[in-house]
Amino acid sequence: MTDSSTGTSAGNNAGNSEGENRVLNGLIDGYRRFRDSGWNPHRERWARLSEGQQPEVMIVACSDSRVDPSQIFDVDPGEIFVVRNVAALVPPFETSPGHHGVSAALEFAVQVLKVKEIVVMGHGMCGGCKAALTQELHGAEPGQGGFIADWISMLDEARAPVAAEFGTTGRPAEREMEQAAVRVSIENLMTFPCVRHKVKTGELTLRGTFFAISDGVLHLMDKDTGQFAPVA
């Protein structure tokens, strides 16, 4: 990361235009680096990608700024179809009113792109999973934590045994919750008829993974036991 000039001559109110420019300028600096190293030397690839995408894998990851799937898996543009949200959750198949963003992405990946694998990637130090465990946002109003509380309430059932065995605070409990959340997403994926069908016919494989931020180690879930082990 470059440390661009921030300037100090203007006002000092948080959120003033100078502060906004500092953030934007950082993004523009990054964009220029991308043009030099990620675009210009790879014109052919971008020309090919302009005709369409054929990723073989969909990845469901957390919105957390530390766990970018394309960085962790070191893939090129066009290789992974990604959905990121709080705690990397896939909700169950629901036809209730509302805007089902994850379901829409899933439908597109499975039915249109025909991805061969769906990888759910949980991670260490996940704030969403921590809130699911502590239930600290329980009862909050929408816009004051209520949307998060509602979203992570889909972990309530998985939370109960974790809280009973490990309590609701501390890394051992949090890690159990983080890995249980991956299992919930995998289970919920199977509630989608199109996913269930393709898993049964062997056209689609579901995989649970977990990225430990503190040591940078990726773990794979054993699909039979639900346990996670580090990738060798």
Rounded to a whole number of angstroms, the minimum distance from the CB of residue 151 to Zn ion is 12
Which CB, 55 or 128, lies closer to Zn ion? 128
Pair of tokens at residue 31? 């964009």
- 181 interacts with Zn ion by CB under 5 A: no
List the one residue from 59, 62, 184, 221 that touches Zn ion (CB under 5 A).
62
Q: Per-residue x/- mask for Zn ion, residues 79 to 108, rule CB under 5 A? A: ------------------------------
Length of the chain measured in residues:
232
Contacts of 198 by beta carbon, 8 Å cutoff, 6+ apart:
110, 204
Give the interface size with Zn ion as a residue count (CB under 5 A): 4
Pair of tokens at residue 48? 């090919």
Question: What is the amino acid identity at position 201?
Answer: T
Query: Strand 205-212 relative to strand 117-123: parallel, antiparallel, unpaired?
Result: parallel
Which CB, 62 or 204, lies closer to Zn ion? 62
Rounded to a whole number of angstroms, the minimum distance from the CB of residue 76 to Zn ion is 25
Rounded to a whole number of angstroms, the minimum distance from the CB of residue 149 to Zn ion is 15
Closest C-alpha among 134, 213, 214, 210 to residue 179: 210
Question: What is the amino acid identity at position 208?
Answer: G
Query: DSSP code of 140?
Result: P
Query: Of 46-54, 55-63, 99-107, 199-207, which segment contacts Zn ion by CB under 5 A?
Result: 55-63
Which CB, 181 or 204, lies closer to Zn ion? 181
> Which residues, 121 to 150, sit near Zn ion by CB under 5 A?
126, 128
Rounded to a whole number of angstroms, the minimum distance from the CB of residue 135 to Zn ion is 16
Which CB, 148 or 163, lies closer to Zn ion? 148
Please state at what angle helix 127-134 crosses helix 156-166, rounded to 10 degrees: 80
- C-alpha pair distances (Å), 222 with each of 9, 48, 195: 57, 36, 19
Rounded to a whole number of angstroms, the minimum distance from the CB of residue 148 to Zn ion is 11
- 64 interacts with Zn ion by CB under 5 A: yes
Cα 122 to its chain centre, rounded Å, is 7
Which runs of consecutive H residues, i.e. helices, occur in the chain?
Answer: 17-34, 43-49, 69-72, 101-107, 127-134, 146-152, 156-166, 171-189, 193-201
Query: Of 25-33, 58-66, 75-83, 184-192, which segment contacts Zn ion by CB under 5 A?
Result: 58-66
Rounded to a whole number of angstroms, the minimum distance from the CB of residue 162 to Zn ion is 16
Q: Which residues bind Zn ion (CB under 5 A)?
A: 62, 64, 126, 128
